[in-house]
Structure 1
Amino acid sequence: MRMLAGALAIGLAWAAPCGAAEVPTFQVDATWPKALPNDWIMGQAAGVAVDAQDHVWVIQRPRTLTDDERAASLDPPRSKCCKPAPPVLEFDQAGTLLRSWGGPGAGYDWPGNEHGIQIDPKGFVWIAGNGPEDGQLLKFTADGRFVMQIGRSGPQTDSRDTARLGKPANVDFDGGANEVYVADGYYNHRIIVFDSETGAFKRMWGAYGTPPTDGALPPYDPSAAPARQFANPVHCVKIARDGLVYVCDRTNDRIQVFAKDGTFVREFFVARNTRANGSVWELALWPDAAETFLLNADGANNEVRTLLRATGETVGAFGRNGRNAGQFHWVHNLAVDSRGNVFTTEVDTGKRAQKFLVQGSFVLRKRTP
């Protein structure tokens, strides 16, 4: 029991004073998720989302499994376990697998490297990819029926091309306007917006709201003047209820904030001395009425931070580099359910999803769909 308590304590957050405001803290749920059925195993987990029922969706990369990890699927099998799980996995709050699907099929180009999953306000599942020739977004029903593809796979073009993407990382939605915003991406240097029903191009922009360009940027230097263009990757986009659009400029260690038309509002730097592969990998909005906080996954420093949304100030954090419950290796994505619980996924050799339970007075009442 003492050992279990120690393992769980790894997930506790520190919380800095924040004037009169309190800051949420979190504790890892080491039992989540439950073991996958069918001797399945998860590869690099490259995206996580929470839907209106508080179900948790993970997209993972079966092709990243080593022969040792997928030994039971080889011909002949080399050992009793394991076999690659399907790319798309839907879990309930207890960590039970509810549904699984995904992979190549008729009528669409499945990504060469799965990257990012989001659920739109109508319940459709959107998938991105950052493989060498990935330039497409895919839209499916919750049970995996193909609906629409925006863009196409093939040789990469540039950030002026509105007919395809450039290794898109992730998306978010303006349900009222039927728009999908794309963090584009690992090849291009822009935010691009499409009609989420028809796939028609609407608008796009680069850093500071300027037209996107593709010139090579020098290696990141925290003492240099801020780069005037997004670096690769443009790794996430999140839209707040007040209309502000938050963009992860990952390797520039910053969040840029825009109006929905691309007008630049402000920028925040986060862990600005991070020279590795960037500090701003993913963002999630805190689910209170004011969306008071931004949660920030940082796969270089391997922690999740709580930021004040108004100022970008770091007021809390949890995690560190490691393999134990509550620790991370390349924490890549995060999502928050309606009660304030946090879900994370890890790539490289992390290859897992974790759940962190919000503590005390910050447990929110479940929203109604």
Structure 2
Amino acid sequence: MHFVLRLATALALGCLVWFVSADLSVSAQSSTTNPYRATFGWEQLPEGRVLGTVSGVFPDPDGRHLWILDRCGANECAGTDLDPIMKFDLEGNLVDSFGAGLFAFPHGFFLDHEGFLWVTEGGSHGDSRAVAGEAMGIGHQVLKLNQQGDVVMRLGEAGVWGDGPNHFNGPSGVVVARNGDIWVSDGHRGGNNRIVKFSADGTFLLEVGGGVGSESKEAARFSDPHDIKMDSQGRIYVADRGNSRIQVFNQEGELLYIWTHYGKPSGLFIDRNDILYAGDGLSGMVRTGPPDNWRSNLGWEKGIRIGDLKTEQAWVTHFIPQHDEDVGAGIEFLGVDFDGNIYAGEVSRRRLVRYVPHRPSELIRTQ
């Protein structure tokens, strides 16, 4: 496996930024160890209910339950009376559910250290999945809910898109620091191409990227920032999917790293031990017609790449190839329980895959 590392000075940002690029062949990716096997059917649902696209999985702080965000048995929730937020025990039994009617296209999902649930509406203006929400007067918001399903906070204006400090355009992800500060990736493909920071009470603090016609390959700019996560040191990780990279920032919004060795990341998860999991469900897709940059990353495989954020550049140590043959957009959303089992939401197949170790000794521990 051959890596190329170069140090560049980002004068416009006033800081040193490590750019990491990787020359990886498909065979090199496949040779990275994979200690996991795919399992199916973990979730036990009421008769007649099926999973759609699972766009988030988080372990409850009690260690005995998992929270899942589901697109109502399909790839959107508009027009249904199904609950998108579901609570399961570790054996896959459904314990609770709520959230019907709140979302048209639930996308980003986060469970903060106080147990509050955060959900973003990921349909950008002009996207067919946003049209229904806008007609219903919902969308373009970030909602905070308690575990009884009550909405206790809203960011953005319902059904109204924009690029100012109080509006979003299809926010794709959200993460909350222990001090309550809120980071939002805004937005989904065709959205604002920025990340935004708010205080705990929702006051706008800063943004990185954004602006009219803001899609860009430049450092600290974005093309479809599809997810956002934070490690134990407070560093912010953005799945800059359209640019096939992860960008890393500090709490002041200053760029620290650009990593291209995680493929074309759609979804990120960082566990309690600062292990990074990146889901890539689009690399290597060949399409007819004009080039489609957000889908192209030829020479790379779809799957899950795993690295240790306690190391300087978090090189990929494990690679889990996507299970089964290619049928379109694959893994886009990830969660990991406290035992290290991985839960992957696939878009085209609309299924949840649970990855468990071949042998217990090979499990990547999260404690």
Structure 2 match to 1:119: 111
Rounded Cα–Cα distance in structure 2 between residues aligned with 1:256 and 1:28: 29
Deviations 1:20-77 (A, max 9, x none): xxx772222334123x1132112222222222123222212227379xxxxxxx9xxx
Q: Report the secondary structure of 1:91's partner residue.
A: strand
Over 3 Å counting, the alpha-carbon distance change for 1:303 and 1:24 in structure 2 is closer
> Of the candidates 36, 48, 52, which is equivalent to residue 57 of structure 2?
48
Structure 2 match to 1:222: none
Deviations 1:267-323 (A, max 9, x none): 101366xxxxxx1111122433xx2x3211001143111134331432221132637
Q: Are the aligned partners of 1:287 and 1:340 in contact in 2 as well (CA < 8 Å)?
A: no
Q: Indicate the larger mover: 331-340 or 247-256.
A: 331-340
> Of the candidates 280, 292, 310, which is equivalent to residue 298 of structure 1?
280
Rounded Cα–Cα distance in structure 2 between residues aligned with 1:311 and 1:94: 36
Rounded Cα–Cα distance in structure 2 between residues aligned with 1:334 and 1:216: 27
Structure 2 match to 1:282: 267
Rounded Cα–Cα distance in structure 2 between residues aligned with 1:357 and 1:14: 18
Amino acid at match of 2:91: A
Over 3 Å counting, the alpha-carbon distance change for 1:126 and 1:86 in structure 2 is same
Residues 1:58 and 2:68 are matched in the alignment: yes
Deviations 1:243-262 (A, max 9, x none): 22111101100001111111
The 5-angstrom pairing of residues 59-98 of structure 1 reads: 59-62=69-72, 64=74, 85-98=82-95
CA RMSD, Structure 1 to Structure 2 (Å)? 3.0
Rounded Cα–Cα distance in structure 2 between residues aligned with 1:48 and 1:328: 22
Rounded Cα–Cα distance in structure 1 between residues aligned with 2:75 and 2:167: 29
Aligned length: 301
Q: Are the aligned partners of 1:99 and 1:143 in contact in 2 as well (CA < 8 Å)?
A: no
Q: What residue ranges of structure 2 are gaps of 5+ in the alignment?
A: 1-28, 124-129, 284-301
Q: Are the aligned partners of 2:208 and 2:220 in contact in 1 as well (CA < 8 Å)?
A: no
Q: Report the secondary structure of 2:171's partner residue.
A: coil
Amino acid at match of 1:156: W
* TM-score (ref. length: structure 1): 0.73
Structure 1 match to 2:287: none
The 5-angstrom pairing of residues 264-279 of structure 1 reads: 264-270=255-261, 279=264
Rounded Cα–Cα distance in structure 1 between residues aligned with 2:225 and 2:43: 29
Deviations 1:77-98 (A, max 9, x none): xxxxxx9742111111111111
Rounded Cα–Cα distance in structure 2 between residues aligned with 1:125 and 1:329: 26
Over 3 Å counting, the alpha-carbon distance change for 1:162 and 1:217 in structure 2 is closer
Structure 2 match to 1:138: 143
Rounded Cα–Cα distance in structure 2 between residues aligned with 1:137 and 1:128: 4
Over 3 Å counting, the alpha-carbon distance change for 1:200 and 1:153 in structure 2 is same
Structure 2 match to 1:101: 98
> Of the candidates 167, 170, 187, which is equivalent to residue 167 of structure 1?
170
Deviations 1:315-343 (A, max 9, x none): 2211326379xx99521100112221111
The 5-angstrom pairing of residues 357-368 of structure 1 reads: 357-358=356-357, 359-361=359-361, 363=363
Residues 1:236 and 2:227 are matched in the alignment: yes
Rounded Cα–Cα distance in structure 1 between residues aligned with 2:116 and 2:81: 24
Amino acid at match of 1:192: V
Amino acid at match of 1:38: E
Q: Are the aligned partners of 1:328 and 1:346 in contact in 2 as well (CA < 8 Å)?
A: no
Residues 1:214 and 2:212 are matched in the alignment: yes
Rounded Cα–Cα distance in structure 1 between residues aligned with 2:280 and 2:110: 19
Amino acid at match of 1:58: I
Q: What residue ranges of structure 1 are gaps of 5+ in the alignment?
A: 1-12, 17-22, 67-73, 75-82, 105-109, 207-211, 219-225, 273-278
Using the TM superposition, give the Cα deviation of residue 228 of structure 1 relative to its aligned residue in structure 2, in angstroms: 4.2
Using the TM superposition, give the Cα deviation of residue 362 of structure 1 relative to its aligned residue in structure 2, in angstroms: 5.0
Structure 1 match to 2:296: none
Percent sequence identity over matched residues? 25
Using the TM superposition, give the Cα deviation of residue 239 of structure 1 relative to its aligned residue in structure 2, in angstroms: 0.9
Rounded Cα–Cα distance in structure 1 between residues aligned with 2:366 and 2:248: 28
Q: Are the aligned partners of 1:135 and 1:151 in contact in 2 as well (CA < 8 Å)?
A: yes
Rounded Cα–Cα distance in structure 2 between residues aligned with 1:239 and 1:229: 17
Q: Report the secondary structure of 1:251's partner residue.
A: helix
Deviations 1:220-269 (A, max 9, x none): xxxxxx43453442111111112221111011000011111111111101
Residues 1:261 and 2:263 are matched in the alignment: no
Deviations 1:139-189 (A, max 9, x none): 11112122111111234222xx111222111111111x2112111112111
Rounded Cα–Cα distance in structure 1 between residues aligned with 2:198 and 2:266: 23
Rounded Cα–Cα distance in structure 1 between residues aligned with 2:67 and 2:96: 9
Rounded Cα–Cα distance in structure 2 between residues aligned with 1:257 and 1:315: 19
